[in-house]
């Protein structure tokens, strides 16, 4: 791979942190960007940044700082809704690749707080697209979600399946991101790749994720609310597999295609999933074995915005990169639980 200047937004977040770690020993020049908001405990975000070589004391909004551990890593605290700050950053650094992972996540949170999603996922994403229009990176990759497939679809989900009936506002904003990005790829020929992530989990995950919240509840003896009476399947995808796919796709920019008198813009979508849906109660059973403690399960009806099953068809990803996500749920959860004990070691005196 040739040396590139790469911007990774959401670099203090879950996937963004792992992507920064994956690139840290490469020849690439990495710029991480994050707003460090308070959707969940900011200290977890600062702990991730510390792993990248950025101390909390060194971070000032709008100022670029260099990692003390890796000279090719830089970081700036910046909100994507700050269009002037974003434009200034793009003008100065002229990124070759942009990996857009910054977003307001969470299906359930979007029901009660839609305006947060409008600001981050719509306004912030539009600002990023405008910066790309002006400064023309060679490749824009952006995070979408399996949520765009909605409910009632045949499985496995393929990228060509209809996605016009989102069942949560979060999913609607992710569908909007795909349509917005397509329009910019069409109008301005920006090579653009959308990444539909399927239930990503692993070390340094978000506290609102099922694996994280279930682990915490089991250890504390708190009840776990399981919806649809437990009849849920998820295509759990280990974060290392997700990052490996992104790393390979960075160098796989789509091209404009002319065929039979029509021209398609340089735009491509990929499912990033494990292609192995797992019953939610099986996830809980594995966590119980790893933690050596039974879960207190409360069964509830399906809640608004949720879907029964997610299941990724990943043939397009395999064809493009030769890579197939394949970390087993048991192995991935073992790594997560080990990290959880280590991170919260003052609370738990045992390890797996």
Which residues are designated catalytic?
170
Rounded to whole angstroms, the Cα distance separating 66 from 91 reads 19
3-state secondary structure of 233: strand
**Using CB atoms within 10 A of its CB, is residue 240 exposed (0-12), middle (13-18) or buried (19+)?**
middle
Rounded to whole angstroms, the Cα distance separating 302 from 229 reads 7
126: tokens are: 């539009």
Evaluate whether 20 touches 9 at the Cβ level (below 8 Å). no
Whose structure tokens read 């609102």? 208
Question: Which secondary structure element, helix H or strand E, spans residue 182, and what is its range?
Answer: helix 169-188
HSE of 346, CA atoms in CB hemisphere, 13 A:
0
DSSP 138: S
3-state secondary structure of 7: strand
For the CA atoms of 100, 258, 183, 150, the dihedral, rounded to the nearest 10 degrees, stands at -70
Query: Nearest Cα to 285, choosing from 340, 322, 230?
Result: 230
Angle between helices 210-220 and 329-343 (to 10 degrees): 60
């Amino acid at each position: 791979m040739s040396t590139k200047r790469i911007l990774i937004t959401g670099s203090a977040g879950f996937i963004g942190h792992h992507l920064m770690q994956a690139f840290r020993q490469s020849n690439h020049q990495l710029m991480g960007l994050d707003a460090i908001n308070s959707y969940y405990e900011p200290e977890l975000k600062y702990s991730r940044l510390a792993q990248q070589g950025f101390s909390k004391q060194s971070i000032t909004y709008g100022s670029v700082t260099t990692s003390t551990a890796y000279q090719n890593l830089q970081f700036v605290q910046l909100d994507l809704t700050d269009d002037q700050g974003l434009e200034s950053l793009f003008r100065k650094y002229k990124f070759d690749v942009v990996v857009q992972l910054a977003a307001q996540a969470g299906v359930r949170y979007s029901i009660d707080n839609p305006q947060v999603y409008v600001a981050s996922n719509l306004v912030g994403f539009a600002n990023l697209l405008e910066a790309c229009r002006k400064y023309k990176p060679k490749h824009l990759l952006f995070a979408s979600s399996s949520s765009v497939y909605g409910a009632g679809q045949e499985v496995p989900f393929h990228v060509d399946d209809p996605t016009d009936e989102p069942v949560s506002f979060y999913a609607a904003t992710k569908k909007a991101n795909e349509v917005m990005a397509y329009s910019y790829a069409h109008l301005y020929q920006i090579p653009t790749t959308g990444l539909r992530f399927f239930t990503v989990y692993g070390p340094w995950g978000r506290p609102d994720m099922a694996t994280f919240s279930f682990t915490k509840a089991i250890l504390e003896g708190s009840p776990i609310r399981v919806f649809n009476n437990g009849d849920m399947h998820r295509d759990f995808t280990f974060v290392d597999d997700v990052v490996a796919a992104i790393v390979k796709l960075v160098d796989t920019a789509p091209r404009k295609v002319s065929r039979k008198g029509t021209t398609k813009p340089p735009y491509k979508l990929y499912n990033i999933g494990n292609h192995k849906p797992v019953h939610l109660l099986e996830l809980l059973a594995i966590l119980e074995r790893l933690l050596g403690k039974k879960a207190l399960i409360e069964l509830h009806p399906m809640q608004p915005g949720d879907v029964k099953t997610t299941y990724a068809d990943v043939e397009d990803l395999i064809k493009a990169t030769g890579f197939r996500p394949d970390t087993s749920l048991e192995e991935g959860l073992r790594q997560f639980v080990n990290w959880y004990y280590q991170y919260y070691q003052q609370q738990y005196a045992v390890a797996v």
